[in-house]
């Protein structure tokens, strides 16, 4: 993937399905952390572009790091965005943080395995990438884009329905 934005499509779909049981911010942070190693290789010109971080073993380590750092970064981000208020602060539970980070790192390896020939997702057990070319790169990009659009429609549709039902309940109580 050309860095992280395309990876967010599946994340938005996960958010729409899991709602409060998934943190899109932690997922997004995990995408950034996953691509730090390739960024360093691109800048320095040395190393394996999609190295250890793009294996499932590396994804476990990245997920743990991203969860431990992402919880606090996400809660701070929610405060800075004004979503989390002093009166009623949002705290992301640890199980949601870890679930989001693991979904983020594992989906990142899966998606990059399909399109990058240098990814060895099952290293050190298998050196080849049997996921490469599973679908074409343009199709993979479409899957990511459409999953994000579909997820956004589900998410906002569900939340709109909940708000309407809440207003209707409030009117009935009056």
Taking the chain (174 residues) in runs of 10, the rounded mean pLDDT of each run is 78 96 97 94 93 96 98 95 87 97 98 96 95 96 96 92 75 67
Query: pTM for this one?
Result: 0.90
In this structure, the number of other CB atoms found within 10 A of the CB of residue 45 comes to 6
| CA–CA dist 38, 58 (Å, integer) | 13
Contact in structure between 111 and 38 (CB atoms under 8 Å): no
Instruction: Supply the range of the domain harboring residue 111.
Output: 5-173
Number of structural domains (the chain) is: 1
């Amino acid at each position: 993937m050309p860095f992280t934005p395309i990876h967010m499509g599946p994340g938005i779909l996960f958010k729409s399905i899991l709602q409060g049981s998934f943190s899109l911010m932690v997922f997004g942070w995990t995408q950034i952390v996953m691509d730090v190693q390739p960024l360093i290789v691109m800048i320095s010109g040395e190393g394996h572009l999609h190295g250890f971080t793009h294996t499932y073993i590396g994804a476990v380590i990245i997920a743990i790091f991203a969860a431990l750092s992402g919880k606090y970064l996400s809660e701070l981000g929610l405060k800075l965005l004004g979503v989390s208020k002093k009166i009623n602060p949002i705290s992301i539970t640890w199980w949601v943080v870890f679930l989001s980070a693991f979904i983020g790192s594992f989906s990142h390896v899966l998606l990059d395995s399909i399109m990058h020939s240098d990814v060895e997702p099952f290293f050190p057990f298998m050196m080849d990438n049997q996921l490469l070319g599973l679908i074409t790169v343009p199709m993979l990009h479409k899957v990511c884009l459409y999953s994000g659009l579909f997820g956004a429609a589900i998410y906002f549709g569900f939340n709109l329905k909940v708000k309407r039902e809440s207003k209707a309940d409030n009117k009935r109580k009056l």
